[in-house]
Amino acid sequence: MALSCGIVGLPNVGKSTIFSALTAAQAERGNYPFCTIEPNVAVVDVPDANLARLRKHIDSEKIIPASCRIVDIAGLIEGASRGEGMGNQFLANIRECDAIMQVVRCFESTVVLREGAVDPAKDMELIETELMLADLQTLEKARDRSGRAAKSGDKDAILFDLVVNRAVEALNAGRVPRSLDWKPPEREALKPLCLMTMKPMLYVANVADDDCAGTSAHARSVAARAVASGAEWLPICGDMECELGSLEVAERVAFMEQLGMAEPGLDRLVRSVYKLLGLQTYYTAGPKEIRAWTVSCEATAPQAAGVIHTDFEKGFIRAQIYSVTDLEELGDEAAVKAAGRLRTEGRDYRMRTGDVCHFLFNR
């Protein structure tokens, strides 16, 4: 799926450091006011223990993990909503993304900030304000049209007018629309406006190397903001992740053990982005490849089949499905089938994470 998550943040908060660690690419980093001029785009693999679990029981030539698209967007400055700096380009790039990862600086450094002090709450407020002001402009223009259209009595026009006005009221009250309880038809009505404050948000507290758990006052302020705005958050040390990525595997494992880390923070980050985008994974497995396929968390069996090939969805008959847990417990697919664990599912079946599938379809 072509869904993407945009990394945003003020200059010098570590966006490009985290992007470089994620992609093993050395994104060009400059100094204030901009770290990135054009958005860098990368497709990163989603860490998935299920692939190794499958490989233990199914002999296959190769393993293909799921992936997600990450976009490193130019640093924002105050006034972006008015087009200052690279504001128009910055906002356009965010609107094109399906979710937002906001990197917030929670570490001290010799690099000078706008006003010389580390203040995560102020930084988050600045970015949120710029996004809210830009969305308010979009909504005000839409409201001029929606009010007139609603007078026609058309149900869709009335619904659109209602949701636009509700979003405007929320923004004027200092609340992001993302934090409101929207019904599915209401979300669909707002979708064409590409509101940035409706997009799922993951706050990434870029912490110092002695605060990987995110227990400092700076990191806790990020956590508090996330809760208040209906978002998720995650602490990560960008510099440490870059250092881990530069080590050989044995050295990396030893270093993580020394730090008490069960896995790299980037693994948690990528999985969090995957979840933020509303995605899940199912698998196909055979002698040629074991492969993780990306689908929406709401995907039906025919839609999942269509990710492999559109003809699979068009000619879908049924799916034969078992779980990774079934395979581990029983040893191989023949044993899964003999135990009655190979389920036959029809068109209305909603996919679950960990499903291993065989699709039957008309050619």
φ, ψ of residue 226 in degrees (nearest 5): -60, -45
For residues 238-276, b (16+ Cβ closer than 10 Å) or e, as one string? Answer: bbbbbebeeeeeeebeeebeeeebeebbbbebbbbbbbb
What is the rounded distance in angstroms from the CA atom of residue 60 to the CA atom of residue 286? 6
Domain ranges of the chain: 4-275, 298-361
What is the rounded distance in angstroms from the CA atom of residue 8 to the CA atom of residue 92? 12
- Hey, do 4-275 and 298-361 end up sharing a CATH topology, with the first three levels equal? no
CATH of region 298-361: 3.10.20.30
Residues sharing a CB contact under 8 Å with residue 79, sequence separation 6 or more, in sequence order: 85, 87, 130
Per-residue pLDDT of the chain (363 residues; tens, 9 = 90+): 568 899 998 888 888 888 888 876 333 333 333 344 456 788 888 999 999 999 999 999 999 999 888 888 866 656 555 555 545 667 888 888 999 999 999 998 765 555 667 899 999 999 999 899 999 999 999 998 888 888 888 899 999 999 999 999 999 999 999 999 999 999 999 999 999 999 999 999 999 989 989 999 999 999 999 998 889 999 999 999 988 888 888 998 898 898 888 888 888 999 999 999 999 999 999 999 999 999 999 999 999 999 999 999 999 999 999 999 999 999 999 999 999 999 999 999 999 999 999 999 987
Task: For the full predicted model, state whether its pTM sits above 0.85.
Answer: no
Q: Give the pLDDT score at 305.
A: 97
Among candidates 46, 49, 23, which has minimal Cα distance to 36? 23
Q: Give the pLDDT score at 80.
A: 53
| Burial class (CB within 10 angstroms; exposed 0-12, middle 13-18, buried 19+) of 334 | exposed
**CATH top-level class for 4-275?**
alpha beta
What is the rounded distance in angstroms from the CA atom of residue 112 to the CA atom of residue 108? 10
Among candidates 30, 24, 116, which has minimal Cα distance to 70? 24
